[in-house]
Amino acid sequence: MLTVHLSDLQFYAYHGIYEGEAVVGGNYQVDLRVGYDEKNSRFDAVENIISYEELFSIVKKRMAIASPLLEEVADAIIRKIKHRYSVATEITLSIYKLQPPIEGFQGKAGITLQKKYP
């Protein structure tokens, strides 16, 4: 299996359930892993692989659409990746809200969604 990684992607986005998050926005970090069976792959052209540049584009476009829940964002990104790359057998996506608006909270809060395909 071959896994394509995108790590520590940084976005400013407007996700959240708290009043004002859709107006003020916040900083987010995204980590993505996409695995596929490379047995029949030829590594001679970008058309024959899962492109990390295209994966970044998919993530960037969806992060720009405000949503109340990170789970919704993660699910939409994974569905889009699977639609574009049917060869993907495992997709894991983590989204972290940096400095969430929780009184006294220091750090980041987030979710990880993993989907496996036969």
| Predicted local confidence at residue 70, as pLDDT | 97
| Predicted local confidence at residue 23, as pLDDT | 87
Q: Give the domain 2-116 fold.
A: GTP Cyclohydrolase I, domain 2 (3.30.1130)
Residues 6+ apart with CB under 8 A from 32: 4, 5, 6, 7, 9, 55, 59, 77, 91, 92, 93, 94
| Predicted local confidence at residue 93, as pLDDT | 98
pTM metric for this prediction: 0.92
Helix (H/G/I), strand (E/B), else coil: 107: coil
Taking only the tens of pLDDT, the chain with its 118 residues reads: 999 999 999 999 999 998 888 889 999 999 999 999 987 777 777 777 899 999 999 999 999 999 999 999 999 999 999 999 999 999 999 999 998 888 899 999 999 999 999 8
d(CA 26, CA 24): 7
Helix (H/G/I), strand (E/B), else coil: 117: coil
